[in-house]
Amino acid sequence: MIGKVPLAPLTALLLLLASCGGSSGGGAGAPAPSGPSFAPESTLAARCATPRTGVDPITSMPYPDRQGTLLDEQNWLASWTNDLYLWYSEVSYGIPASYPTAIDYFNILKTNATTASGKPKDRFHFTYPTATWEALAQSGVQAGFGASWDVVSATPPREVIVAYTEPGSPATNLSPPLLRGALVLGVDGVDINDTTQAGINTINAGLYPASSGESHTFTIQDPGGATRTVAMQSTNVVTTPVQDVGTVGTTTVGYMLFNDHLATAEPALINAITTLKAANITDLVVDIRYNGGGYLAIASELAYMIAGPSATGSQTFDLTQFNGKHPTTDPVTGQPIVPTPFLSTSQGFTTSPPAGTALPYLGLPRVFVLTGPDTCSASEAVINGLRGINVQVIQIGSTTCGKPYGFYPQDNCGTTYFSIQFQGVNAVGFGNYPDGFTPANALSLAGGSTPATLPGCSVLDDFTHALGDPAEARLSAALSYIGGSACPAPSGLAPPGTVRRLSAVDGHVFKPPLLTNRIVRR
Amino acid sequence: MRVVPNAGGTALALSLLAGCAASQPPQQTPAFLVEPSAQTRTELARAVAAEFGGVQIPLADDALTHSSELVLERGALRDPGGLPANGRELGRPELFHLVLVDGRCVLIHDRTGHRAMLSTARCRAVSP
């Protein structure tokens, strides 16, 4: 498993951590609780109700903790937020001592504003125990079966579908192998629509094993309609971040499925672009419908390899902007804020090729991206970065997640806090896509064009065809667009779960370990 | 498994492994594991964990069997919406390399330079 703490115990650990601080506010004869002190953050950091001792095993540095109080931790959160939170002026800081734990107090230290579509502006505010956050794993290794489940509907009638599989995994070693579009009808003898808590726990535990070596059975309806029960044992599956690279049929259209901005994606993308360049492609379709992001530098490398040196030159790929208190200096690193360029050489995520190796490039004036609600963060940065230098990005699929933001996760007293600190903008200063990027022909459903509207077609996910199959609805629409045909009728804004055809659905691909274990629920 | 700190630099560590017999550092060649036994996988896992205070790091069963490189990064933690916790990661991964030194399999942690000999492992040089 990736995290060091299984999910259910993680909840317990959070509760334990949350209960360690005791109460430092109020009490008989104590002064009335007041707002935060807003003392300098550095004077409050690492003053802990329960200090850690010894050496951090990951950083090899002694823990900085010293004896403090719960109120110290809460006051640090207020000062830290007031200094670094992107929307610090929209926060109601309240009375720290009125919250029983530091995490409870942290949870209110965010904006309550909403986006134009009505979504909370800040959907990215959370914590992890520091030991869990710092834990390392081999790149792309997760305990599982090698099947990524798309949860179209988490509540009855539930729909859990195989979105894609990893080569050489238990899922693909079955005979016949588990294919995209296979429906999960039951787990370990529990019907997928079971409403008891015990049943739900069984389903979640089976879909997302905590470690390698777990045996589970699945009742599956294969894409052809046949039903079977299969047994699989979880292993530490290695994710292949780039798959299905090649030209589509006999065309000069290149295709690649890019699922994760992992470290191992750097050589994989280089190999993919080298292959496609050798094939003399004239258009490229990058399938990032399930790519939630990762290393920003890898996003920059991919954008460079698509656009080439003439278009990218010395242009900005992404510029980090903090709140107005920090216009020129990165307040976390102390370094001047400088743009991330379009990186034209490998950055050493692996040593083959070595850092500094010139990247191959296609030099295309336009690129097609296949998107969905799981297209997020660094994946959206590829879209935004290319748009900033006038490379046309044509979007086929559904609206992306809308996360132009980032943070430096910060430990204090054993909890790592995730609080949005910066926004990324492209070469023309645009980064305002909190509701995601949306294809232009979805306008009849969405009600108007926005700066985050892209040319393209609104198309729901199609589980009746393999990814990379020219007949798959999104790729098919891209090929039609390239051929000069009109988009199919827009479908990509339909609320998840309202469509019951596997050729047109949208859900979320959940890749454990999650912050919450409530993947399917009542 | 034996961990050799990089206190005196690479040359010193190599000399220690080679029994201090050579005046020149012995040649090291990138290598991969050949049919690692369960014992070897355990030894590898311990060598990696030793670099992080004994914390166990999930490794694939075929780690270092296809290449000489082992890449570690933060586990794929997710935010409450199921998306990567840090979708704009600005850091870099941890790298390890396996090399052959005088017929022995040695694991090198790039960041620290620490070396660990995998005494039960069989290695083969990576073809140039």
The pLDDT profile of chain B, 128 residues, written as one tens digit per residue, is 333 333 333 333 333 444 444 456 678 999 999 999 999 999 999 999 999 888 889 899 899 999 999 999 987 788 888 888 888 988 899 999 999 999 999 999 999 999 999 999 999 999 87
Which residues of A are less than 8 Å from B56 in CB distance?
4
Side-chain-side CA neighbours of B64 within 13 Å: the count stands at 34
In DSSP notation, A318-381 reads EEEE--TT-SSB-TTT-SBP--EE---B---SSSSSPTTPBPP----SEEEEEE-TT--THHHH
Over residues A479-485, mean pLDDT:
95
Find the range with the poorest average confidence among A215-224, A334-343, A416-425, B71-80: B71-80
**A95 DSSP assignment:** -
Q: Does A264 touch chain B (CB under 8 A)?
A: yes
Q: Is the pLDDT of residue A63 over 80?
A: yes
Cβ(A248)–Cβ(A219) below 8 Å: no
Q: Under an 8 A CB cutoff, do B88 and A381 touch?
A: yes
Confidence of residue A29 (pLDDT cuts 50, 70, 90): low
- For A328-366, b where at least 16 C-beta lie within 10 A, e where not — what string? eebbeeeeebebbbbbbebbbbbbebeeeeebbbbebeb
Gap between the Cα atoms of A155 and A497, Å rounded: 10
Cβ(B28)–Cβ(B112) below 8 Å: no
Q: Is the residue at B66 inside a domain?
A: yes
Q: Which two tokens stand for residue A16?
A: 């334990």
Q: Under an 8 A CB cutoff, do A142 and B52 touch?
A: no
Is there a cis peptide before residue A209, judged by omega within 30 degrees of 0? Answer: no
Q: Which two tokens stand for residue B32?
A: 């991969």
> How many structural domains comprise chain B?
1
Tell which wins on pLDDT, A286 or B2.
Answer: A286
- N- to C-terminal Cα distance for chain A? 26
Gap between the Cα atoms of A181 and A160, Å rounded: 9
pLDDT at B69: 95
**A107 DSSP assignment:** T
Q: Could you count the other beta carbons within 10 Å of the beta carbon of residue A86?
A: 22
Q: Is the residue at B87 inside a domain?
A: no
Q: Is the residue at B80 inside a domain?
A: no
**A446 DSSP assignment:** H
Sign of the alpha-carbon dihedral angle for A208, A213, A218, A222: positive
Q: Which two tokens stand for residue A125?
A: 């505010």
The amino acid that residue A442 corresponds to is A
Find the range with the poorest average confidence among A6-10, A69-73, A101-105: A6-10
Q: Is the residue at B51 inside a domain?
A: yes
Q: Is the pLDDT of residue A307 over 80?
A: yes
Q: Does A376 touch chain B (CB under 8 A)?
A: yes
Q: Is the pLDDT of residue A71 over 90?
A: yes
Q: Could you count the other beta carbons within 10 Å of the beta carbon of residue A224?
A: 9
Q: Which two tokens stand for residue A145?
A: 């079966």
In DSSP notation, B30-89 reads EEEESS--HHHHHHHHHHHHHTTTT------TTTTSS-SEEEEEE---B-TTSSBTTSEE
Which residues of B are less than 8 Å from A238 in CB distance?
60, 62
Gap between the Cα atoms of A497 and A461, Å rounded: 12
pLDDT at A520: 58
Confidence of residue A6 (pLDDT cuts 50, 70, 90): very low
pLDDT at B7: 34
pLDDT at A396: 97
Q: Could you count the other beta carbons within 10 Å of the beta carbon of residue A450?
A: 15
Beta-strand relationship, A283-287 and A366-371: parallel
Which residues of A are less than 8 Å from B84 in CB distance?
292-294, 376-377
Q: Which two tokens stand for residue A109?
A: 């230290």
Q: What is the largest CA-CA distance in chain B?
A: 58
Task: Report the predicted TM-score, pTM, of the whole model to 2 decimal places.
Answer: 0.87
Gap between the Cα atoms of A48 and A90, Å rounded: 27
Confidence of residue A500 (pLDDT cuts 50, 70, 90): very low
Which residues of B are less than 8 Å from A424 in CB distance?
88
Confidence of residue A41 (pLDDT cuts 50, 70, 90): very high
Cβ(A241)–Cβ(A260) below 8 Å: yes
Over residues A280-284, mean pLDDT:
98
Residue B49 is part of which domain span? 2-72+93-125
Q: Is the residue at B42 inside a domain?
A: yes
The amino acid that residue A500 corresponds to is R
ipTM of this predicted structure: 0.80
**A493 DSSP assignment:** T
Q: Is the pLDDT of residue A239 over 70?
A: yes
pLDDT at A451: 86
| % of chain A surpassing 70 pLDDT | 87
pLDDT at A511: 62
Where along chain A do its domains lie? 7-113, 141-238, 242-405+422-496
Gap between the Cα atoms of A367 and A247, Å rounded: 14
Q: Which of residues 47-86 of A touch B (CB under 8 A)?
A: 55-58, 60
A242-405+422-496: what CATH class? alpha beta
Instruction: Write down the architecture of domain A141-238 according to CATH.
Output: Roll (2.30)
Q: Does B43 touch chain A (CB under 8 A)?
A: no
Confidence of residue A449 (pLDDT cuts 50, 70, 90): confident
pLDDT, tens digit, 9 for 90 and up, residues A164-222:
999 999 999 999 999 999 999 999 999 999 999 999 999 999 999 988 999 999 999 99
Which residues of B are less than 8 Å from A509 in CB distance?
82
| % of chain A surpassing 90 pLDDT | 77
Q: Which of residues 126-145 of A touch B (CB under 8 A)?
A: 126, 128, 132-139, 141-143
Cβ(B99)–Cβ(B29) below 8 Å: yes
Q: Is the residue at B77 inside a domain?
A: no
Cβ(A115)–Cβ(A402) below 8 Å: yes
In DSSP notation, A208-257 reads S-SSTT-EEEEEEE-TTS-EEEEEEE-EEEEP-SEEEEEESTTSSEEEEE
In degrees, rounded to 5, the angle at the alpha carbon of residue A385 between the alpha carbons of residues A380 and A387 is: 100
pLDDT at A517: 41
Give chain A's length: 522
pLDDT at B14: 38
Which one of A262, A424, A510 has the shortest CB-CB distance to B88? A424
Closest to A14 in 3D by CA, of A420, A515, A513: A515
